[in-house]
């Protein structure tokens, strides 16, 4: 399913989106979960991010690292609310990656701390 289709489904019927994510988790479909993790709806994206941690393994960890790298550099033109949403999503990815990688999450969210955390997860 394409990301735009997933976004449309999640806005029209979140229960269907959650059922789709549950199916992706049960089949360990990492690429599908990674696409869903980029959904605009946090509720759906967060569940997909958690699903990647549930699936675990090298492929899921790599997908979580990629998601974290995408959230590591905020867009400077964002307003306050977008920045908060960005920080919530980044925190969710960090916690899920820590769980998937079996490592401790960093205490802070500076670019340096995130970079060190990513390196630790990739070594793991």
pLDDT in tens, 3-49: 677 777 777 887 888 888 999 999 999 999 999 999 888 888 899 99
- Supply the pTM of this predicted model: 0.83
- What tokens were used for 83? 């920045």
Q: Are 91 and 98 in contact (CB under 8 A)?
A: no
- What tokens were used for 82? 């977008």
- Residue whose structure tokens are 């899920």: 96
Which residue from 74, 72, 62, 81 is spatially nearest to 106, judged by alpha carbons? 72
Share of the chain above pLDDT 70, in %: 93
Q: What is the dihedral of CA 90, 96, 98, 99, to 10 degrees?
A: 170
Which residue from 24, 91, 85 is spatially nearest to 52, judged by alpha carbons? 24
The secondary structure of residue 28, as a DSSP letter, is T
């Amino acid at each position: 399913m394409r990301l735009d289709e997933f976004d449309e489904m999640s806005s029209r019927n979140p229960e269907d989106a959650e059922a789709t994510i549950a199916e992706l988790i049960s089949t360990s479909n990492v690429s599908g979960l990674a696409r869903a993790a980029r959904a605009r709806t946090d509720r759906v994206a967060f569940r997909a991010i958690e699903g990647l941690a549930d699936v675990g393994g090298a492929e899921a960890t790599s997908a979580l690292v990629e998601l974290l790298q995408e959230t590591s550099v905020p867009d400077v033109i964002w307003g306050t609310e977008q920045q908060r949403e960005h920080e919530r999503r980044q925190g969710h990815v960090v916690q899920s990656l820590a769980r998937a990688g079996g490592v401790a999450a960093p205490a802070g969210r500076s670019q340096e701390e995130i970079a060190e955390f990513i390196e630790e997860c990739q070594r793991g």
